[in-house]
C-alpha cells in the first residue's frame, strides 16, 4: 500500500519574506509566538529590519513558527494526516509537534532554548563535502588521521557536512579535494551536530525535563537513529538532547521511508524546497542493497521496542545487517551502535584500555573489577572518564561477595560517587542490599509521571531461580532496611516496587569463569518464557531485555543466539587474547594456540567451599588437575594433618613451592585487617583453615598468569571457555591469527557483520529450497491432471 510522509526543513531554509500570508491566517498563534519570544515574529520573518534572521537564536524560532503555520494551513485545506513525519535537524521539532508530542508553546520554548545554546557555541566550523560518497569520506578521515573531524549531516549520498576545529577543517580541505570532492566552508558560528556541542547538549537535557510530552500519534523518524521514535517521553527527550551532538542521518531517514512504502508521496511543509530537492536526489540514486530497517519498528513504530506479541509481516528485500541484529531498545538505552557487549573479566583483564577502545567505537564494554582494590577500581574509572567523551558508553562490573557484603556496598558507593550508570552484576546467587541500593538510588519521577531509571543493571544468570529473583521487584525486607538506614527515599522505595531489579538479563551458557555448564539452546528460551510470564504478572511498562553469553566466538554462534531470541550478545573469552586485554603477553601467546577441547573445569576459588565451578585453560598447564585435587582433598578430610604424607609433600613442593606454615603466614597477614573473623574461625575449625590455605593456590595462579611468571607457568589459572578455541580456528590463516593484530572493537564488528551475512545466506537458502519444492509440487500436480 502506498504511504505518505510530511517533512519539515531545518536551519538554512530561511529567507526574508517567508510566511508573509500565514501570519494573517493564524493571528492567535502569531500572538502566542510574540509573547514567548519577546519580539514580533512577523516583523522578523517578513521584514528582518535588524538583519537577525540569519542568527541561529533567531533563525530557529522563525523556521519553527513558519513551518507549524504551513502545516496547519495544509490541514485547514482538507489534507489528512500522513503515515509518517520527519524533519531535518530543527525540523524534527515541527514533526513532533505535528505528531502531538507537545503543543505549540512547548515546541517554541524548546526551539528558542536550543537556538540560544547553539548560537552561544563557538570554537569551530563546518564544511560541505560534495561529490564524494560516505565510504570515500571515511577513507580520507582515516587515512589522514583527521580524528578531530565529525560527520554532522548526511544530506544526500554525495552531499555530506563535516564539523570540527577550524584549523583541522583547513587541513582537511586539501585531502578532500585530492580525493575528487568539492570542499565548501560553511558560514556558521560553531561545529553543530558534533561532539563539540556537548555543553549545549547537557544544558538542553536539563531544560527539556521541565516539560510534559505525549506519545506520538503518527510515527516520527528521528535524525539520530533514522528510525521511529519510541513511545516514552523519556526516550523522546533523550533523543532530542542527543540530536545536538549527533549527525543528521537524512539519507537513511529517506531510505527508511522509501522502504516502508513512501515513494513519491513526500510533502515538504515550511519555507523553501531544500528537502524536496534532497529527496529527489536520494530517490534518484536508489536504496543500496545493504540497507535494511528494523522489522520490529516497521511493524508498530510507536508501540516502543521489544513487543513480542506483534505479528511480523513479510517484508521483501530487507537484508539483515549488523546494526539491525538484536533489540533497538537495548541500543538506545545504552547509546550504542550494535547489540554487542565486551563483558567484564576479573582482575582488570577486561581492562580500562579495552573499555575505552569499545566506547570510542560506539560499543559497550565493562571493566573487570573482581579481585581489585577500590583504589585501583577508582583510578580506572577516572582514566576511562578522561578518555571517553560524554555519551560514549561504558560500565563497571559488580561482583557477588558472599563473604564480604560490605565490600559490595563500598563498591556501589564508589560507583555512585563517579556517576556510573551501568553495571554488569556477576556471579550473584541472590539479591543483595548493594544491588537494591544501586538500582533504587537511581530512580526518580519525571513531571510526565514516568519513572526515570538512571542506573541500569545487566544481570548475568545461568539458573532460572536466580533469573526469577532479578526479574521481580526488590525484596521488601532489603528495601525496608535501606529506608531505615536513610540510604533511599520513601519515593525511591515506592518506585522500586514497580520495577524489576535488573533492566537486562544476560543468560550465561557454558563459559569461561564461573559456569553452571548450561546449554544456550536450552537456557535462553527458558529464561525468555520466564521473563514474559513475570513481566506480565507484574504489569511492568517495559520488558526486561534478555541477552546471551557463553560460547560466542564466531559468527555462527552469534547468529544462533539471535535466532534463539537474544536481544544482545556478550563476549568474554575471545577478548582476553587481544591487544587491549589486561593480562601478560605469555598468557596471550598460550591462548592463541588453544582449540575448542583445550579447556576444563576447576573449583572456583572465591566459592571454594560450596563447590562452584570455573572453566579454565588446560593446555600447557596443570592448574585444573591440581585445583580439582585440592578440592577433593578438602572435601574428604577434616584437616591438613589427615592427608597422607605423599600428597602433603606433593602440594607443598609442586603446588605452593613452600610449606603450609609459610602459606598460612601469608593468609594471616591478608585476613588480619580484611576479615579477622576468618582467622578466628580457622583457629577453631581445622577444615576451614585447610580451605584458606588451599584457596591461596587459586590467587597465586591468577597473579602468576597476569604477571607472566614463566617459572610458575604450569600453575597459571586462566579462566577461558571453548569460544576462544572456536575463534582461533575461524581466524586461522588470516591477519587475526596473531593476537597482536586483534582489537576488541574490530572483533565485535567482524562477528556481528559475519552473523548478519550468514543469516542472510541461510534465509536465502530456505526461500530457494521452499520455492524449489513448490515448483516440484506444482509440476507433479500438473502431471496427474494430464
Q: Which of 70, 89, 232, 351 is catalytic?
A: 89
pLDDT tens digits along 390-434: 778 999 999 999 888 999 999 999 999 999 999 999 989 999 999
pLDDT value of residue 298: 47
Task: With a cut of 90, say whether residue 516 has pLDDT above it.
Answer: no
pLDDT value of residue 319: 65
pLDDT value of residue 294: 59
**pLDDT mean over 169-197:** 93
**Vertex 171 angle, CA 155 and 281, to 5°:** 15
How far apart CA 527 and CA 537 sit, in angstroms, is 15
Q: Which CA distances in Å does 346 have to 11, 65, 473, 699, 706?
A: 49, 55, 28, 12, 11
Q: Using a pLDDT cut of 90, give the percent of the chain over it.
A: 80
Tell me the pLDDT of the chain averaged across its residues.
Answer: 91
**Vertex 758 angle, CA 754 and 759, to 5°:** 120
Q: Which CA distances in Å does 413 have to 155, 164, 382, 751?
A: 45, 37, 15, 36
Task: With a cut of 90, say whether residue 293 has pLDDT above it.
Answer: no
How far apart CA 429 and CA 528 sit, in angstroms, is 19
Alpha helices in 260-351 (DSSP H): 274-285, 295-299, 328-334
pTM for the structure as a whole: 0.70
193 belongs to the catalytic site: yes
H/E element, 137: helix 134-143
Longest CA pairwise span in the chain (Å): 103
Q: DSSP secondary-structure letter at 719? A: B
pLDDT value of residue 189: 80
pLDDT value of residue 74: 94
**pLDDT mean over 512-525:** 87
pLDDT tens digits along 563-596: 999 999 999 999 999 999 999 999 999 999 999 9
How far apart CA 62 and CA 626 sit, in angstroms, is 76
Cell of 240: 532530542
Listed in sequence order, the residues at least 6 apart from 39 whose beta carbon sits closer than 8 Å to its beta carbon are none
Task: With a cut of 70, say whether residue 618 has pLDDT above it.
Answer: yes
* Structure confidence at residue 300 as a pLDDT band (50, 70, 90): very low
* C-alpha count within 13 angstroms, C-beta hemisphere, residue 553: 26
Q: Which of 13, 67, 88, 193 is catalytic?
A: 193
How far apart CA 55 and CA 338 sit, in angstroms, is 38
pLDDT tens digits along 43-90: 999 999 999 999 999 999 999 999 999 999 999 998 999 999 999 999
How far apart CA 368 and CA 460 sit, in angstroms, is 14
Task: With a cut of 70, say whether residue 785 has pLDDT above it.
Answer: no
CB 44 within 8 A of CB 66: no
From the number of C-beta atoms within 10 Å of its C-beta (0-12, 13-18, 19+), residue 677 rates as exposed
pLDDT value of residue 42: 97
Task: With a cut of 80, say whether residue 167 has pLDDT above it.
Answer: yes
Task: With a cut of 60, say whether residue 342 has pLDDT above it.
Answer: yes
pLDDT tens digits along 675-691: 889 899 999 999 999 99
H/E element, 268: strand 262-268
Cell of 157: 549520498
Q: DSSP secondary-structure letter at 715? A: G
Listed in sequence order, the residues at least 6 apart from 319 whose beta carbon sits closer than 8 Å to its beta carbon are 289, 290, 291, 292, 756, 760
89 belongs to the catalytic site: yes
pLDDT value of residue 299: 40
How far apart CA 489 and CA 495 sit, in angstroms, is 10
Cell of 29: 498563534
How far apart CA 211 and CA 107 sit, in angstroms, is 10
Cell of 402: 558472599
How far apart CA 555 and CA 454 sit, in angstroms, is 33
* Structure confidence at residue 317 as a pLDDT band (50, 70, 90): very low
Amino acid at each position: 500500500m502506498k504511504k505518505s510522509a510530511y517533512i519539515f526543513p531545518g536551519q538554512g531554509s530561511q529567507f526574508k519574506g517567508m510566511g508573509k500570508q500565514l501570519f494573517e491566517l493564524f493571528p492567535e498563534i502569531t500572538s502566542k509566538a510574540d509573547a514567548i519570544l519577546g519580539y514580533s515574529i512577523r516583523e522578523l520573518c517578513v521584514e528582518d529590519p535588524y538583519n537577525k534572521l540569519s542568527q541561529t537564536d533567531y533563525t530557529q524560532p522563525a523556521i519553527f513558527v513558519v513551518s507549524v503555520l504551513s502545516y496547519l494551513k495544509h490541514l485547514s485545506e482538507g489534507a489528512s494526516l500522513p503515515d509518517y513525519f520527519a524533519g531535518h535537524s530543527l525540523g524534527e521539532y515541527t514533526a513532533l509537534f505535528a505528531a502531538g508530542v507537545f503543543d505549540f508553546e512547548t515546541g517554541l520554548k524548546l526551539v528558542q532554548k536550543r537556538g540560544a545554546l547553539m548560537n552561544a557555541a563557538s570554537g569551530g566550523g563546518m564544511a560541505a563535502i560534495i561529490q564524494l560518497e560516505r565510504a570515500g569520506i571515511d577513507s580520507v578521515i582515516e587515512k589522514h588521521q583527521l580524528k578531530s573531524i565529525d560527520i554532522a549531516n548526511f544530506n544526500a549520498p554525495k552531499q555530506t557536512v563535516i564539523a570540527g576545529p577550524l584549523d583541522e577543517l583547513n587541513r582537511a580541505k586539501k585531502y578532500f579535494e585530492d580525493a575528487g570532492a568539492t570542499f565548501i566552508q560553511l558560514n556558521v558560528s560553531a561545529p553543530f551536530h558534533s561532539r563539540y556541542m556537548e555543553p549545549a547538549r547537557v544544558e538542553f537535557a536539563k531544560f527539556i525535563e521541565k516539560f510534559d510530552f505525549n506519545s506520538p500519534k503518527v510515527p516520527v523518524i528521528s535524525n539520530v537513529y533514522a528510525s521511529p521514535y519510541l513511545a516514552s517521553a523519556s526516550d523522546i527527550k533523550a533523543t532530542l538532547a542527543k540530536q545536538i551532538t549527533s549527525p543528521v542521518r537524512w539519507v537513511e531517514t529517506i531510505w527508511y521511508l522509501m522502504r516502508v512504502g513512501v515513494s513519491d508521496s513526500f510533502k515538504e511543509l515550511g519555507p523553501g524546497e531544500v528537502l524536496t530537492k534532497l529527496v529527489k536526489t536520494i530517490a534518484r540514486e536508489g536504496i543500496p542493497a545493504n540497507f535494511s530497517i528494523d522489522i520490529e519498528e516497521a511493524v508498530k513504530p510507536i508501540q516502543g521496542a521489544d513487543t513480542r506479541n506483534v505479528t511480523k509481516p513479510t517484508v521483501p528485500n530487507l537484508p539483515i545487517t549488523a546494526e539491525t541484529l538484536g533489540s533497538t531498545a537495548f541500543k538506545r538505552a545504552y547509546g550504542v551502535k550494535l547489540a554487542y557487549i565486551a563483558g567484564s573479566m576479573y582482575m582488570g583483564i577486561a581492562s580500562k584500555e579495552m573499555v575505552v577502545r569499545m566506547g570510542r567505537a560506539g560499543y559497550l564494554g565493562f571493566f573487570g573489577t573482581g579481585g581489585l582494590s577500590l583504589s585501583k577500581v577508582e583510578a580506572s574509572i577516572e582514566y576511562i572518564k578522561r578518555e571517553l567523551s560524554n555519551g560514549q558508553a561504558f560500565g563497571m562490573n559488580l561482583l557477588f561477595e558472599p563473604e564480604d557484603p560490605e565490600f559490595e556496598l563500598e563498591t556501589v558507593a564508589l560507583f555512585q560517587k563517579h556517576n556510573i550508570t551501568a553495571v554488569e552484576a556477576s556471579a550473584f546467587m541472590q539479591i543483595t542490599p548493594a544491588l537494591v541500593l544501586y538500582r533504587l538510588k537511581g530512580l526518580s519521577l519525571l513531571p510526565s509521571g514516568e519513572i526515570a531509571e538512571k542506573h541500569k543493571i545487566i544481570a548475568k544468570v545461568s539458573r532460572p531461580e536466580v533469573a526469577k529473583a532479578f526479574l521481580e521487584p526488590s525484596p521488601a525486607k532489603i528495601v525496608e532496611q535501606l529506608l531505615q538506614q536513610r540510604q533511599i527515599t520513601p519515593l525511591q522505595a515506592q518506585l522500586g516496587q514497580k520495577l524489576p531489579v535488573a533492566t537486562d538479563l544476560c543468560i550465561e551458557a557454558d563459559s569461561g569463569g564461573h559456569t553452571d555448564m548450561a546449554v544456550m539452546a536450552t537456557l535462553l528460551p527458558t529464561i525468555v518464557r520466564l521473563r514474559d510470564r513475570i513481566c506480565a504478572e507484574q504489569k511492568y511498562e517495559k520488558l526486561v531485555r534478555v541477552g546471551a553469553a557463553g560460547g560466542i566466538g564466531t559468527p555462527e554462534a552469534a547468529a544462533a543466539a539471535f535466532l534463539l531470541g537474544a536481544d544482545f550478545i556478550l563476549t568474554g573469552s575471545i577478548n582476553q587474547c587481544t591487544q587491549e586485554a589486561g593480562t601478560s603477553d605469555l598468557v596471550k601467546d598460550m591462548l592463541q594456540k588453544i582449540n575448542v577441547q583445550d579447556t576444563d573445569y576447576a573449583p572456583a576459588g572465591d566459592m571454594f567451599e560450596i563447590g562452584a565451578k570455573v572453566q579454565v585453560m588446560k593446555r600447557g598447564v596443570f592448574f585444573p588437575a591440581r585445583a580439582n585435587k585440592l578440592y577433593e582433598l578438602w572435601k574428604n578430610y577434616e584437616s591438613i594433618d589427615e592427608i597422607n604424607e605423599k600428597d602433603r609433600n606433593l602440594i607443598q613442593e609442586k603446588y605452593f613451592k613452600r610449606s603450609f606454615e609459610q602459606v598460612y603466614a601469608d593468609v594471616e597477614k591478608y585476613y588480619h585487617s580484611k576479615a579477622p573473623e576468618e582467622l578466628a574461625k580457622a583457629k577453631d575449625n581445622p577444615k576451614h583453615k585447610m580451605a584458606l590455605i588451599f584457596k591461596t593456590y587459586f590467587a597465586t595462579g591468577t597473579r602468576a598468569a597476569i604477571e607472566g611468571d614463566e617459572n610458575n607457568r604450569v600453575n597459571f589459572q586462566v579462566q577461558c571457555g571453548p569460544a576462544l578455541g572456536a575463534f582461533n580456528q575461524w581466524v586461522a590463516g588470516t591477519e587475526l591469527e596473531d593476537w597482536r593484530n586483534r582489537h576488541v572493537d574490530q572483533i565485535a564488528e567482524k562477528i556481528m557483520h559475519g552473523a548478519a551475512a550468514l543469516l542472510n545466506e541461510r534465509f536465502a537458502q530456505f526461500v530457494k529450497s521452499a520455492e524449489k519444492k513448490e515448483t516440484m509440487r506444482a509440476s507433479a500436480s500438473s502431471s496427474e491432471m494430464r
